[in-house]
A and B are shown apart, each in its own frame.
Chain A
Amino acid sequence: MSFRRTFVTAGRVLTQIRHDPRTIALLVVVPSLLIGLLAWIFTDTRVFDSIGPAMIALFPFIVMFLVTSITTLRERRTGTLERLLAMPLGKGDFIVGYALAFGLLGLVQTAVAVSYAVWVCGLDIDGSMWLLFAVAVVDALLGTALGLFASAFARTEFQVVQFLPALIFPQILLGGIFVPRDQMPDVLHTIGDWLPLSHAIDALTAVAQGTHDDAWVWTRIGFIGAWVVGAIVVGAVTLRRRSA
């Protein structure tokens, strides 16, 4: 791996996005609109305060998953990936470059979504705002890492979009937003406890409601981080320099 190649790759991905202002607008505005919609639906109830933090976990995760998996797939299909792999670019440079660029984008998206949720929709955050951001960023990175991973197993755009219900929806269902995990059947409870999104939801809820100390939240962040590293490593391994 080389720092220069990783950084030029991240820079190139960000330049591509800069050429596409509509995508930037959608990335930044859509999560806030949906959070606003949710707050509106649950006006005059306590529901928004309990599921609002979980929503902050969902949007960067889903959006980063989609954006990453589709752009990397596009890179495979247009032959630019083949060109890069015929050059002295390491697979790690490629993947970490993407993770850096989209991680940064996730940070911006989260900053806007959190600000909107707190200052416009009146979401109560009892814990540290910084910790909330830390969880949201690692959550966006998780989406990026799983997107990179999914794109390795898809040959067409149609296939890659199918990975959204396959990889993401179960994590949302088992994450404890609809039914608390400890009220689920044992097997599902156990599976849910090992999925990374569950920990992101738990951590954001804990920060928002101030129910746990910082160390507990950092442990969740560490757990999600392990998933991120794992998905990036698997993604890099499945990136083949030689293909048929």
Chain B
Amino acid sequence: MLRDLTVTVPRGQVVGLLGPSGSGKTTLMRCVVGVQRVAAGGVTVLGRPAGSRALRSRIGYVTQAASVYDDLTVRENLRYFRGVLGAPAGDVDRVLEQTGLAGQAGQVVHSLSGGQRNRVSLAAALLGEPELLVLDEPTVGLDPVLRFELWSLFHELAESGVSLFVSSHVMDEATRCDRLLLMRDGEIIADDTPQGLLHATGAPDAEAAFLEIIRSKEAGR
């Protein structure tokens, strides 16, 4: 259940959506992409109803599990999604380069490691240069080096004008975002910059800040 929330993802910024599992992060992201059945109310993204035809080539979406074809090679996967999007032919090589998969292009996806598979999924979302990227826990299960590389890529994309909406339950990724949303039980309980959040709560890190906000909310009830 999500109740009456507005999420702002400014152009060219990385907005992190943090919260414990089960707090509604995936549901919120699916709403934005327009694949979530909405019981009541409407969702508006980039000025249009979520999921509308015009939006579908402007938003890139990466689900939590790598949603690519296991029995195709990396390049065959990307070529297919490129064809569906109608993106230019050079796009496949561009996203292979961006995600560091150029060396694995000819490999069948099921022979790749979990981290590489997630990057194939991300590469597919980068096809067609979407304005908004919705990434559901893209760094889960990755080693620290790969995580660092992916976050560098996210910031590069943001600098080129892409807006990113990234969820995570790893609190230490919070400091890498331009803006943070803390979510709990389907509600956004904080919406601030990482510095602002630490400043307001006086907490030393995001995890402590999260706890502090919950504590003050419960005390206020």
Contact = CB atoms under 8 A, between A and B. Distances in A.
Contact of A82 (B53, B63, B83, B85): B63
Given A83-B124, A242-B38, A243-B37, A8 B84 contact: yes
B210 interface: no
A233 interface: no
Contacts of A83: 61, 63, 67, 81, 124
A78 B77 CA distance: 14
A46 to B, nearest CB: 45
A65 B108 CA distance: 27
A120 to B, nearest CB: 33
Interface stretch (B28-36, B148-156, B175-183): B28-36
Given A83-B67, A87-B56, A88-B57, A242 B108 contact: no
Contact of A78 (B38, B61, B67): B67
A193 to B, nearest CB: 40
A154 interface: no
Interface stretch (A14-22, A28-36, A102-110, A139-147): A14-22
A11, A82, A88 — most chain B CB neighbours (10 Å): A88
A22 B68 CA distance: 22
A47 B81 CA distance: 51
Interface residues of A, number: 26
Given A5-B83, A9-B84, A12-B76, A88 B35 contact: no
Contacts of A9: 80, 84
Contacts of B51: 86, 241-242
Interface string A223-244: 0000000000000000011111
Given A86-B51, A89-B84, 18 more contacts: A9-B84, A15-B72, A15-B80, A78-B67, A78-B69, A79-B63, A80-B67, A83-B61, A86-B33, A86-B56, A87-B57, A87-B81, A87-B85, A88-B56, A88-B85, A243-B35, A243-B37, A244-B36
21 contacts: A4-B83, A4-B86, A8-B83, A9-B84, A11-B80, A12-B80, A12-B83, A15-B76, A16-B72, A79-B67, A82-B63, A83-B81, A83-B124, A86-B33, A86-B35, A86-B51, A88-B86, A241-B51, A242-B35, A242-B37, A243-B37
Interface of B: 33-38, 51, 53, 56-57, 59, 61, 63, 65-72, 76, 80-81, 83-86, 108, 124
Interface of A: 4-5, 8-9, 11-12, 15-16, 19-20, 78-80, 82-89, 240-244
